[in-house]
Amino acid sequence: MGTPAAVGQHLLGPHVVGRRVVVRRVLRGGTGPSGGPALTDQLGTCLAWTGGPGGSCLLQPDDPAAAPVRIALADIVSGKPVPPRPSHRLRVDPREAQLRALALWPDLVTEPVGDWLLRRSPTSTARRANSVLAFGPAGVDPVDRAHEQVVGFYAATTGRPVAAVLADGAEEASFRARGWVAESGDADTVFSVAGVAAAARRALRGAGTTDDEVELVEQTPGVVRAQLPGATGVAAYDRDWVGFRGIEVDPERRRQGLGLRVMAALLGWGAEQGATTAYLQVLADNEPAVALYDRLGFVEHHRYRYLALELSTPA
């Protein structure tokens, strides 16, 4: 069986070196299901392109552990550039990202309700530490039983049941159908991630200079507080992720780079612990904070909102 006439008619060439591409090629000596030549698709980054007779394309598969593949240009049936592979940080699902963020609250008490997670902090009033994490189905049949457990838990503790749900997701609809409403007038919360090394470099470039040094005080193992006259912040490390909360700058000291100095110190500490991914959470309408974190290379991972159920009889 001869080579298909389409061989060589593609959108590839020297211009795709360094880019991610998909290549359909002939498998010499093989026979396809219809009796014609066997074909296969290869996805990866083009490392080199050699033209002319006997030319080839050297492709690194998406799996970094796989060996590069050399494909003869004469065997290419079709091909084209494709979007870059999503960052491994973005491939972590929202629930897993939130579970890693529990490290920010060392005294957190948690209790599962199926696949939902009750969260309660005896020392903090933050919603993240005092709400049920309901990302995805509860996995409890009937689901009303899960809702009853949530309401009962917070009625006996905080006195106000609060749920964190993915924006416009199925769980939000489920809670609203049972009388839950927006917990406040706040905008959605954006969970953002970045590479630790790149974010640290950018923070250092924009940090202000003062005679004061950022002091890092360990609060509990894996959690530190950064202190600088006029600015503070907290970081927590867990499973190669470092997260931040409470990054605050005194109003009269803003626009002096103090927030960046605190972030740079905390990112550096996270890197020393072995973190490769940084994360933080900010209200979507907090424009100054969003602009700051954008400059550091943070990108949106997911966003969520809080719902609450007002109890007729306070606890």
Nearest Cα neighbor of 126 from 194, 183, 179 is: 183
Backbone angles phi, psi at 104, to 5 degrees: -70, -10
Domain ranges of the chain: 14-81, 94-186, 190-301
Contact 78, 113 (CB under 8 A): no
Domains 14-81 and 190-301 belong to one CATH topology: no
Q: Is the pLDDT assigned to residue 55 strictly greater than 90?
A: yes
Sign of CA dihedral 275, 277, 278, 282: negative
* Rounded Cα distance, 242 and 100, in Å: 9
Please tell me the pTM assigned to this model: 0.72
Residue type, 28: R
- CATH no. for 14-81: 2.30.30
What are the CA-CA distances from residue 276 to residues 121, 213, 242, 243 (Å)?
A: 27, 25, 8, 11
* Rounded Cα distance, 29 and 179, in Å: 65
pLDDT tens, position by position, 89-142: 777 999 999 999 999 999 999 999 999 999 999 999 999 999 999 999 999 999
Residue 211 confidence (pLDDT): 64
DSSP 148: H
Q: 33: pLDDT confidence band, cut at 50, 70 and 90?
A: confident
Strand partners, 178: none
* Rounded Cα distance, 52 and 58, in Å: 14
The first and second tokens of residue 50, run together, are 């050699």
Residue type, 191: F
Domain 190-301 fold is Aminopeptidase (3.40.630)
Q: 193: pLDDT confidence band, cut at 50, 70 and 90?
A: very high
In the chain, % of residues over pLDDT 90: 66
Q: 35: pLDDT confidence band, cut at 50, 70 and 90?
A: confident
